[in-house]
Chain A
Amino acid sequence: MELNWTTFALEIINFLALLWILKRFLYRPVLQTLAERRAGIERTLAEARASEAQAAAMQQQFAGRLADWEQEKAKARQDFAAELASERTRQMAALATELASERERSAAQDAHRQATQRRELAAQASTEARQFASKLLARLAGPELEERLVQLFSEELAALPEEHLGAVRAGQNGDGRGMVSSAFALSAGQRQQLSDAIETRLGKTLVLDFVVDPSLLAGARLTLGAWQLDFSLAGELGVFSEAANRG
């Protein structure tokens, strides 16, 4: 245990040298690295805080915008509901109008259909009546009825109004020849009777051809060119059927 002053002094120098060495090669680099890392962490933290603040601001902004959107949505919904109600009212009115129109059209169609049906029924009834009358009159037709109808033909000719005979008298119908059709063959007396009645009424002599036409059923028909005077059962049935069709 003795103190060597040389060692004492050199150890002081050695320690100071070590102090410089460690400060230069150990503490300074390590502390610098730590400071850089701390600065980096602080920088990252600052950026994180800035990002957080920005996120909070954006969140607030988005919350405000969301609230605005909610208000706009509610207003749009109200407008839409009002518009929907208005459109519904308008559509209902249009539908009611259309329904009324359709109803009127349907009523008109019903009326037309009913009229048509009535006409068809009337025509059918007329046809059936004419067929019935034809069958009945065909069964009733005979020389007696023929005689009677020829008699009536003469009377009708005598009672025919003058205006109907004007054209015939003027020579516009017929060229002096006529044709008398009858369902049954006429006797000579009947032929003479008809010839006399025609000549008396028309005031001129005609050459008459007498032909038998069973389709007349009974009675006679005088044809002078385009002019015709029918007094037969078939002709009356035709008039009857035409009148029924006219309704």
Chain B
Amino acid sequence: MEAAGVVFTLGWLQITTTVVTTWGLLLVFGIGSWLATRHLSVDQPGLVQTALEGAVQSIAAAIDGVLPGRSELLLPFIGTLWLFVAVANLTGLVPELHSPTADLSTTAALAFVVFLSVHWYGIRSAGLKDYLQHYLTPSPILLPFHLLGELSRTLALAMRLFGNIMSLEMAALLVLLVAGLLVPVPVLMLHIVEALVQAYIFGMLALIYIAGGMQSHEASASPEAPQTNDKKGSAP
């Protein structure tokens, strides 16, 4: 897989195909959302509105399953992660387009955003002092390990998505090169499933990390309480 090429430059900024594709996705999302939510009906929802409401409610239900009562707070961020990653993963199926998530810069950016959001929501939920306190519990000696864990899981988040999507695209490209036209179809179907699964995993891991950050002060306040969902953050 070759690195994303530079399409054009704006001064010292090099605009790559990944960024252009992402802008395209932003355009699609923006126009699509505007068109889909222009005439929402309370009493008689149409097919598109029903699908939208179902998707939004499913995301809220998933968030409520991990963090009960916090779906309204986390829905925009987690929902955007799921939708963007899923659509970005599937973009590679369109001829002449590459998935933005097959670029390490994108997955690293997303992982960095998740990394920041964990601390943002954690501090918002517990306060700065209580939030930072959990890095020192149960013992200050564990602080380096906590920090190392934060970095490693963020790195793993970025690498996992990048590796999976890049390998899928590469595998599809290789199969297309060495086989006929119809042979890659099963691989492309696998690509769809894998893209959706990876999007789900990415969003769910981000949700679990955020939940861990928001509940860390509760865990530090009651040592006998069960461990946070952070432990669930192991890579599949």
Chain A residues with a Cβ under 8 A of chain B? 1-12, 14-19, 21-23, 25-27, 29-34, 36-37, 40
Contacts and interface: CB of A to CB of B under 8 A. Distances in A.
For chain B, what secondary structure do more than half of its interface residues adopt (helix, strand, loop), or is it mixed?
Answer: helix
Contact of B113 (A12, A21, A22, A23): A12
Given A6-B13, A22-B80, A36 B104 contact: no
Given A29-B37, A30-B37, A8 B30 contact: no
B19 A7 contact: yes
Given A2-B104, A6-B14, A27-B79, A11 B42 contact: no
A26 B3 contact: no
Given A4-B105, A14-B19, A22-B83, A30 B56 contact: yes
B105 A26 contact: no
B56 A27 contact: yes
Given A22-B79, A25-B30, A30-B40, A15 B109 contact: yes
A12 B109 contact: yes
Nearest to B57: A34
Given A26-B33, A26-B36, A14 B22 contact: yes
A21 B33 contact: yes
A32 to B, nearest CB: 8
Contacts of A36: 42
Contact of A8 (B41, B52, B84, B109): B109
B76 A18 contact: no
Contacts of B42: 33, 36-37, 40
B16 interface: yes
A27 B36 CA distance: 11
Given A26-B33, A31-B75, A40-B42, A4 B112 contact: no
A18 B29 contact: yes
A189 to B, nearest CB: 152
B198 interface: no
Contacts of A15: 80, 84, 109-110, 113
Contacts of B13: 6, 10
Interface in B16-33: 16, 18-19, 22-23, 25-26, 29-30, 33
A25 B34 CA distance: 6
Nearest to B27: A21
B150 interface: no
Residue among A3, A4, A19, A32 with the highest chain B CB neighbour number at 10 A: A4
A11 B105 contact: yes
Contact of B100 (A11, A17, A22, A30): A11
Given A1-B104, A4-B14, A7-B4, A26 B37 contact: yes
Given A11-B105, A18-B26, A22-B29, A27 B76 contact: yes
B77 A19 contact: yes
5 closest A-B pairs (Cβ-Cβ)? Answer: A11-B109, A25-B33, A7-B105, A29-B37, A26-B33
Given A6-B14, A16-B113, 13 more contacts: A1-B166, A4-B103, A7-B103, A8-B109, A10-B22, A11-B19, A12-B113, A18-B26, A19-B77, A26-B52, A29-B37, A31-B72, A40-B43
A11 B25 CA distance: 12
B79 A14 contact: no
30 contacts: A2-B104, A3-B104, A3-B108, A4-B16, A4-B18, A8-B105, A8-B108, A11-B19, A11-B22, A11-B100, A12-B113, A15-B113, A18-B26, A18-B80, A21-B33, A22-B79, A22-B80, A22-B83, A26-B37, A27-B56, A27-B76, A30-B37, A30-B40, A30-B52, A30-B53, A30-B56, A33-B40, A33-B49, A33-B53, A34-B56
Residue among A2, A7, A12, A40 with the highest chain B CB neighbour number at 10 A: A7
B99 interface: no
Contacts of A31: 56, 72, 75
